[in-house]
């Protein structure tokens, strides 16, 4: 399985939001998309599953051109964990995850044993089986994020898109969640695209990093190749110190000061 | 393991809710049939109803039959139909708009039908034209609102609600005008119609509103999963492949049609379509797979009881049922609301 984003451009009315974005990902790969506020990260994510329709450019999943298939068919291939998914309606965790089966069910179908089994499995993989009968309005933010991941897994996707999945989570839950993503990429052979504000987490857990700047790809590649002080300075406008941690063997980015313009 | 237990438990719970509501509906109907200026024992009611299906020796006075079959039964059936229609239409509108203030009348159906009815009254066209005219005007109002609100193939929620309010005000002004030019007797008729009530029920009305209400409700129930996803947010719904705009259009059309047939049959009955879905939401939760049928059945039960009260409370005259629905329903709703404020989600 291969995800190919081919020369995507998008604009909100007259404002150019994305320009000529291309990249390719293989299964088991995690791509971290980073960049300052307003650089088009979320827009790019939403163009990939065509909830936003790119002005030009195409997304391919293997040989399939996603612009030629229905939204419901895309939802069978691409699961999304949105940035703000907090639901104030008291559905149970189980039924929330069951909603992930929506793209696989026809209008007149009823949920079958197969669907329940998949919910069961998704709950287990996310480690929240014990929450099944709880209301999503009564669980913690970290647990809620796992519920939404489980819902995406119930879609049986090939690609998982996450928009700042660690936002609002404490350090412990951040790590736990990213470890889970890494396991998922390997065990479920998923392609994972994750937008993040946290350069350290992106550097540690993503196989490749894509830096967006003003709607264009500024740099893309291995974390150690592109997360350099000069690149970070150019994109974010801050001085940083970057070193490799001996404990995690991954890059650490320490902000030092903002640059006065 | 846990999940399997959960499914079994939930299935049991939902079946229990549905059985309780269906039994409640049947009991309410039988009970309402016994009540009136001539009290009739429920046992006799059962026998009269049975005699329509199987052969029974008639050991009851002949006029009992005309009271039960000719007068009370159509009224109770129409009450149930209208209550059910308003319940499920209100429920789907609230879910679709994600707005607790939405009611079956958001698309201007109430004032559109009011104008249709008062026009017939003022022009003196005769009673039998009131229902068709009300139906025609309410459906056209709904479509008018829909097409005005539609921008670039989409129906923005805020625009639609505002358009509905604006068109409602417009038709309300027209209704006021008809009232102003109406004669004394006509004015009385208009006011009566506006208050809504089941006093003019007959088998014709039951039979003419039955198919649309039933088919429309079944149609809406096929959108339960879509409504659930819309409730969790438009973005999530899109991500999971819900055709948001199409679902909105379908729900709008179906809910408007069944509301229009309810209103055509018995005028504007407020409150049921707004509050019954909320009451059921508090009782059974936000999941439309159980909430829609519950609102349907709950609306039916509620209107049967309030109508029975409305025809007995100051007998031999009767009150418009809308007065009773609000006076009885509001305190009950507020009680539930205070008790379980957090549970609704709205």
pLDDT band for position B345 (cuts 50, 70, 90): low
* Interchain contact, B222 vs A129, CB within 8 Å: no
Which of B222, B235, B285 is opposite residue A90, by nearest beta carbon?
Answer: B285
Is B233 an interface residue toward A (CB < 8 Å)?
Answer: yes
Is B232 an interface residue toward A (CB < 8 Å)?
Answer: yes
**Tokens at residue B38, please?**
């001539």
Q: pLDDT per residue over A174-187, tens digit each?
A: 999 999 999 999 99
Residues 6+ apart with CB under 8 A from B58: B51, B65
Ranges assigned E (strand) in chain A: 2-12, 15-26, 30-34, 56-61, 64-65, 78-81, 159-163, 191-195, 208-213, 216-221, 238-244, 251-258
Q: Return the pLDDT at B150.
A: 86
Please check whether residue A162 is in contact with residue A195, taking contact to mean a CB–CB distance below 8 angstroms.
yes
> Nearest-CA distance from B153 to chain A in Å?
15
* Interchain contact, A116 vs B3, CB within 8 Å: yes
Q: What are phi and psi of A107, to 5 degrees?
A: -55, -35
* Interchain contact, A88 vs B345, CB within 8 Å: yes
User: Beta strand A2-12 with A15-26: parallel, antiparallel or unpaired?
Assistant: antiparallel
Is B245 an interface residue toward A (CB < 8 Å)?
Answer: no
Q: pLDDT per residue over B55-108, tens digit each?
A: 878 888 888 888 989 899 999 999 999 999 999 999 999 999 888 888 888 888
Answer yes or no: is pLDDT of B343 > 80. Answer: no
> Nearest-CA distance from B77 to chain A in Å?
29
User: Beta strand A64-65 with A56-61: parallel, antiparallel or unpaired?
Assistant: antiparallel
* Interchain contact, A108 vs B222, CB within 8 Å: yes
Q: Report which of residues A83 and A183 the model is more confident about.
A: A183
User: Beta strand A208-213 with A216-221: parallel, antiparallel or unpaired?
Assistant: antiparallel
ipTM of the complex in this document: 0.91
**Tokens at residue B78, please?**
């129409």
Cα separation, B137 vs B167, in Å, equals 12
Q: Return the pLDDT at B235.
A: 87
Kindly list the residues from chain B whose CB atom is less than 8 angstroms away from the CB atom of residue A69. Answer: none
User: Beta strand A216-221 with A64-65: parallel, antiparallel or unpaired?
Assistant: unpaired
Kindly list the residues from chain A whose CB atom is less than 8 angstroms away from the CB atom of residue B14. Answer: none
Answer yes or no: is pLDDT of B247 > 90. Answer: yes
**Tokens at residue A62, please?**
């293997």
Q: What are phi and psi of B36, to 5 degrees?
A: 160, -175
CB atoms within 10 A of CB B7: 18
Note which residues in 186-225 of chain B have CB less than 8 A from chain A: 222-223, 225
Per the confidence metrics, is the pTM higher than 0.80? yes
Q: Return the pLDDT at A196.
A: 93
Q: Can you tell me whether residue A134 is helix, strand or coil?
A: coil
For chain A, give me the number of helices (H) and strands (E)?
A: 9, 12
* Average pLDDT for A98-118: 94
Q: Return the pLDDT at A124.
A: 93
């Amino acid at each position: 399985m291969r995800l190919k984003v081919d020369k995507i451009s998008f604009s909100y009315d007259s404002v150019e939001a994305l320009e000529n974005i291309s990249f390719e990902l293989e299964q088991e790969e995690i791509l971290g998309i980073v960049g300052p506020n307003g650089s088009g990260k979320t827009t790019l994510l939403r163009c990939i599953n065509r909830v936003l329709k790119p002005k030009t450019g195409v997304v391919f999943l293997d040989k399939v051109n996603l612009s030629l298939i229905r939204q419901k068919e895309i939802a069978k291939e691409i699961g999304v964990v949105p940035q703000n998914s907090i639901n104030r309606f008291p559905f149970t965790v189980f039924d929330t995850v069951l909603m992930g089966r929506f793209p696989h069910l026809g209008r007149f179908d009823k949920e079958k044993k197969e669907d329940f089994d998949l919910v069961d499995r998704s709950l287990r993989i996310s480690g929240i089986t014990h929450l099944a009968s709880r209301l999503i309005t009564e669980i913690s933010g970290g647990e809620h994020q796992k519920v939404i991941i489980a819902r995406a897994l119930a879609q049986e996707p090939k690609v998982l898109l996450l928009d700042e999945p660690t936002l609002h989570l404490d350090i412990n839950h951040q790590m736990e969640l990213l470890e889970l993503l890494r396991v998922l990429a390997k065990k479920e052979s998923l392609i994972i695209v994750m937008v993040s504000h946290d350069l350290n987490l992106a550097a540690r857990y993503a196989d490749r990093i894509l830096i967006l700047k003003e709607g264009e790809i500024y740099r893309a590649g291995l974390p150690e190749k592109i997360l350099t002080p000069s690149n970070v300075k150019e994109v974010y406008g801050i001085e940083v110190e970057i070193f490799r941690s001996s404990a995690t063997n991954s890059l650490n980015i320490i902000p030092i000061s903002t640059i006065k313009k | 393991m846990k999940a399997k237990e959960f499914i079994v438990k939930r299935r049991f719970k939902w079946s229990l809710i549905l059985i309780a509501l269906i039994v409640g509906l049947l009991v309410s109907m039988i009970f309402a049939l016994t009540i009136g200026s001539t009290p009739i024992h429920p046992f006799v009611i059962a026998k009269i109803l049975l005699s329509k299906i199987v052969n029974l020796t008639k050991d009851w006075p002949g006029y009992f039959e005309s009271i039960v079959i000719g007068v009370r039964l159509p009224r109770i059936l129409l009450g149930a139909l209208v209550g059910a229609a308003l319940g499920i239409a209100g429920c789907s509108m609230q879910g679709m708009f994600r707005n607790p203030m939405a009611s079956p009348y958001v698309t201007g159906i109430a004032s559109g039908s009011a104008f249709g009815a008062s026009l017939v009254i003022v022009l003196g066209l005769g009673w039998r034209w009131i229902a068709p005219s009300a139906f025609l005007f309410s459906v056209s109002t709904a479509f008018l609102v829909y097409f005005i609100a539609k921008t670039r193939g989409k129906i923005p929620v805020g625009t639609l609600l505002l358009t509905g309010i604006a068109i409602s005000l417009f038709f309300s002004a027209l209704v006021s005008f008809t009232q102003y030019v109406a004669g004394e007797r006509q004015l009385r008729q208009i006011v009566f119609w506006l208050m809504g009530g089941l006093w003019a029920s007959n088998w014709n009305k039951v039979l003419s509103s039955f198919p649309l209400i039933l088919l429309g409700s079944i149609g809406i129930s096929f959108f339960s999963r879509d409504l659930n996803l819309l409730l969790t947010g438009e973005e999530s719904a899109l991500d999971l492949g819900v055709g948001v705009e199409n679902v909105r259009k379908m729900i709008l059309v179906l809910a408007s049609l069944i509301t229009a047939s309810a209103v055509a049959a018995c005028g504007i009955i407020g409150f049921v379509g707004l509050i019954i879905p909320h009451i059921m939401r508090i009782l059974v939760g936000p999941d439309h797979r159980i909430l829609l049928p519950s609102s349907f059945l709950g609306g039916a039960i509620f209107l049967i009881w309030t109508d029975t009260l409305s025809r007995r409370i100051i007998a031999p005259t009767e009150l418009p049922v809308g007065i009773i629905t609000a006076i009885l329903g509001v305190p009950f709703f507020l009680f539930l609301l205070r008790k379980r404020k957090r549970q609704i989600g709205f």
